[in-house]
Chain A
Amino acid sequence: EVQLVESGGGLVKPGGSLRLSCAASGFTFSNYNMNWVRQAPGKGLEWVSSISSSSSYIYYADSVKGRFTISRDNAKNSLYLQMNSLRAEDTAVYYCARDVSDYEPLGLTYYYYMDVWGKGTTVTVSS
């Protein structure tokens, strides 16, 4: 069974740090780009960061750039998100999601989407 399991969430004070992990199983992790997506309480989904299969390409949302670092260990089938200088507005459920891209022959272009999601881990930033 293809599965993603996040861990590492918790309560942290403003300015503090936290490291999230995402354990992948049931597929060849090293073949896929991966994402972190978050959802603040009662709010919509927000893409946070992406990392390519070999870690060559990394991208961040402007809201976390310079504070968060995405990484992966393909030997351990794991994805990570190091979060520093945390703020109250970082409070959210954090999901890891597998990235898929392929060629759409009917449209003569590529498509991109996230096909597998974990159940999420909750991060609360509060004093």
Chain B
Amino acid sequence: SSELTQDPAVSVALGQTVRITCQGDSLRSYYASWYQQKPGQAPVVVIYGKNNRPSGIPDRFSGSSSGNTASLTITGAQAEDEADYYCNSRDSSGNRYVFGTGTKVTVL
């Protein structure tokens, strides 16, 4: 089965830039979407497709992809960006979803 691997944790100074990566074979065929989850809350999508932000998501969030790696970049991180972030894509069959292992972002 497909797997998506993320670094468990990253930290970023307030106002600086942080990149979160997601690796997996399915990313060669399917775009990743990215979800932000704060404690006790449901996930919220922040990036989907090539680099699309839903309404209400700040433009400091951006996405990119190359080969088997997708990236989420937060440019000018804010305190409210401290959360868990998960990537997600279709698996190699194209019919099921797979989530990444998750990255905890700490804003210092």
Contact = CB atoms under 8 A, between A and B. Distances in A.
A27 interface: no
A111 B97 contact: no
Contacts of B99: 37, 44-47
B42 A95 contact: yes
A50 B97 contact: yes
A120 B42 contact: yes
**B89, B97, B98 pick with most chain A CB within 10 angstroms:** B97
A58 to B, nearest CB: 10
Given A107-B50, A109-B31, A119-B42, A44 B86 contact: yes
Q: Is the interface of B mostly helix, strand, loop or mixed?
A: strand
Contact of A106 (B50, B54, B90): B50
Range of interface residues on B (Cβ < 8 Å): 20 to 34
B76 interface: no
A83 B99 CA distance: 21
Given A35-B97, A109-B30, 14 more contacts: A37-B99, A44-B86, A44-B101, A46-B99, A57-B95, A59-B96, A111-B31, A111-B33, A111-B49, A111-B52, A112-B31, A113-B88, A114-B35, A119-B42
20 contacts: A44-B102, A45-B35, A47-B97, A47-B99, A50-B96, A95-B42, A95-B43, A102-B49, A109-B30, A109-B31, A111-B48, A111-B49, A111-B50, A112-B30, A112-B97, A113-B49, A113-B88, A114-B35, A114-B43, A115-B54
Interface of B: 1, 30-31, 33, 35, 37, 41-45, 48-50, 52, 54, 84, 86, 88-90, 95-102
